[in-house]
Structure 1
């Protein structure tokens, strides 16, 4: 049900988003945006699956990077979850998961080059931090009764394996499967920085106006995600995990001298590297903060807040598409298809497509973030609405939506929305690589100009900003007595 604190918080965030719209760069700058959008949809409707050589290989490598990266991330994340209660571990995990996979890829590209290790580590490292957090919360919320029923003298390891793990196994397995789906999306967008996954061919097709080719790649990706329950069988997992490394490709050999130089020279601030000492460091820091960090942080925060509220509005509009309380099975099936497409399309790919069609501004980023995250939250809230039993005399239509369902779903809806706040900010920062003036734009520019010291400082600022938003989101959920970790 609605309460004064939840309504007040919602209105505050709505007001911030409206204020953000007044200062944001929201515009369509292309000459014929709707004509280009029509050409794109025509390309999706007439896909060409046989024009691009190497498409099957790119699809296999997309799957391979996801499996290897998620496997390593889940393994080390589980180990970290066992000691997650210690503050240094929590800080370490918060830091590594606050840096987006594409930022990690850009870092590793500077010294590993186009080697499979770049893509694997770019997924595995942030995912280890995510797994550590979620696994620890699942283990903490496990029922303690089985542990108390064990015979006296049972060791801690035996109690953990025989009492706690069986009780948490379904949740651990379900979340890991979901994270694998996320890994497939992460793997696909690694192609935008040059790795041989699906995103590489998608970007090439769009840049040449080959919309039928791009449509074929998107359809293949949707089919891959939608059919996961069919091909992702527990009995086949060992085969996938053992076979995936053989499909990563070889890439270029690693020059270990570049690795050493990157850590000992390239990322050292220029004044310290040139012998100017602390006297030259402060002006250097001031220049980076004024010309790059502060504008990047401002645009990142503004875009995040607009996208957060747009996500919330779209989620509330989308959940009836799959709710049993509205319409019949045909409409719900159509709704499921629409939400699967929305939540399966990575924000980065969707923003890239819209930027090509509408031109550079914040609008493509807002729409991309809202569609993807709104599809996720709308799907979860729609599923939760199906657990609600209405009275036989309950109203129908709009009255059912406004008076019966939304008040009952509003608190879990807010829990999901604030839980995704930090994720939306991570994506907002990385969208700068596409030319939007968020922190990612300045990071990418620094790397392009071989100023790795500036790039690393900006990535550090991005991580701290994400950590701060994550902490603020948790604080708001606690103050509103929402679930700390929403589940559905």
Structure 2
């Protein structure tokens, strides 16, 4: 049954979301949204797979960036996990994973340009922080008994390789393969900043109103994600990882002088760079906080809290679609298809599509965040509901749903929801690049105006905000005794 703390926490977050709605910009501003939505769906059901030149190359490079970035991130993350008990390592890992891949890409574009290294590092760096956290948790849960059975005098390295790693290897492999799916989504959206992945062609098709081309790209992306278990086999992984860097394409040569100038001049606050003194630095920082940082933080938090509650609502409505306790095989198959599409489409792509159809406001962002994250949580708790053995008096329909299943999966539901809270905030910030006035909007504006010093301060604020939400989420989960598993 529901515990009093979970009920109180639920009502608190719902109340916060309702208050946030009063301060939000929720509207449909396009002249004829239903016509545009109809044209989009017509394009999806009449895809044109032959109109986009270089489509095969875009798919290949999407896969190549994902494999290279995730492989590099997993290796670095594993090394960090070995020393994760050090506070400095935990803080470093939390910081690098708090900055979204697109923000990393925007930073590296300033000195690497459209070089493959930009995309690889944009994925590898935040994934290193994620892998470090998850791998360390997995290693900490290793069974201590095998280590006790080793002979006296066994070295620490041998003990680690022969006693700890084999015990947790299956979990490490499962999570890494799962993270590869996330890497595919990250790789796709890098196209929105100019890298030659699927997102680049998708943005081009939408901007030109070529919905059949866009539909073909989306379908191919869903097929790519859905078939990962078929073509990503353990024996082939070394081939993929070794071969992927050769399919990243070529960029202009890196000018290392630009790299040095970026770190020694471009990101240095302009009052210091121009020798204007600390007084002017205070004025510069105050202006940045009042005109950009605080409005960005406010809109980011407002949008995050609304999206969080709608994510939870959608997840609770969606999990019966794949639960064996409701409907027949046909309904569950259609439910699986809906949830696969919802969770496979990155929030950024969903928000971009909806912004083209509905016009600029917070509504497309809320719907995109709720669909993607609600699809993930709905899938997870739907699978969990299939393991529940119903009582004899469970009833049917709404009675079974409201009195039997929801109370029994509610703790897990809250755990997944609070785990994704920080992830939703990361995505909320980055959606500002599309025009929603979150922190990403001001970061992108500063970069467009070649004010990298202001952009870096705003990125640091974004990271601190994400770290704060992550810490608050862990505190709430601990207070409510919620157990979670990592989700992308």
TM-score between both structures, scaled by the size of structure 1: 0.99
Q: Check the 8 A contact 1:478/1:484 in 2, yes or no.
A: no
Q: For residues 354-433 of structure 1, what are the structure 2 equivalents within 5 Å?
A: 354-433=354-433
1:32-71 CA distance string (max 9 Å, x none)? 0011001000000000000010011000000000000000
Conserved? CA contact 1:70–1:183, under 8 Å: yes
Which residue is equivalent to 1:229? 229
Name the structure 1 match of 2:75: 75
Q: Does 1:15 align with 2:5?
A: no
Contact 1:26 1:361 in 2 (8 A): yes
What SS does the corresponding residue of 1:2 show, helix, strand or coil? Answer: coil
Q: Please tell me whether residue 95 in structure 1 is matched to residue 103 in structure 2.
A: no
In the alignment, does 2:220 pair up with 1:213?
no
After superposition, residues 296-311 of structure 1 pair within 5 angstroms as 296-311=296-311
Distance across 1 between alignment mates of 2:484 and 2:163: 24
Q: Distance in 2 between matches of 1:486 and 1:121?
A: 22
CA distance in 1, matches of 2:342, 2:3: 31
Q: How many residues align?
A: 488
Q: CA deviation at 1:331?
A: 1.1
Q: What secondary structure does 2:235 align onto?
A: helix
Check the 8 A contact 2:435/2:441 in 1, yes or no. yes
Query: Which residue of the partner structure matches residue 185 of structure 1?
Result: 185
User: What is the DSSP-based 3-state SS (H/G/I as helix, E as strand, rest coil) of the residue aligned with 1:234?
Assistant: coil
Q: In the TM superposition, what are the counterparts of 1:219-368 in structure 2 within 5 Å?
A: 219-368=219-368
For residues 298 and 189 of structure 2, the distance between their equivalents in structure 1, rounded to whole angstroms, comes to 25
- The separation in 2 between residues aligned to 1:2 and 1:150, in whole angstroms, is 46
Aligned to 1:142: 142
Q: Are the structure 2 counterparts of residues 486 and 134 from structure 1 closer, same or farther at C-alpha, using a change threshold of 3 Å?
A: closer
CA shift for structure 1 position 393: 3.9
1:173 is aligned to 173
- Given that 2:39 and 2:211 are in contact with CA atoms closer than 8 Å, whether structure 1 keeps it comes out as yes
Matched, 1:6 2:37: no
Task: Indicate if the aligned counterparts of 1:314 and 1:370 stay in contact, CA closer than 8 A.
Answer: yes
Matches of 2:328 and 2:162, distance apart in 1: 45
The aligned residue for residue 461 of structure 2 is 461
Contact 1:116 1:249 in 2 (8 A): yes
Q: Aligned partners of 1:407 and 1:124: how far apart in 2?
A: 39
Kindly report structure 1 stretches of 4+ aligned residues shifted beyond 6 Å. none
TM-score by length of structure 2 reads: 0.99
**Does structure 1 retain, via aligned residues, the 8 Å contact 2:420–2:487?**
no
Alpha-carbon contact 1:415-1:486 (below 8 Å) kept: no
CA contact (8 A) 2:105 2:118 kept: yes
Q: 1:153: how far off?
A: 2.3
- Relative distance call for 1:26 and 1:400 in structure 2 (3 A) is same
* 1:485 shift after superposition: 4.2
Could you list the runs of 5+ residues in structure 2 that have no partner in the other structure? Answer: none
Q: Are the counterparts in 1 of residues 416 and 484 from structure 2 also a CA contact under 8 Å?
A: no
RMSD: 1.0
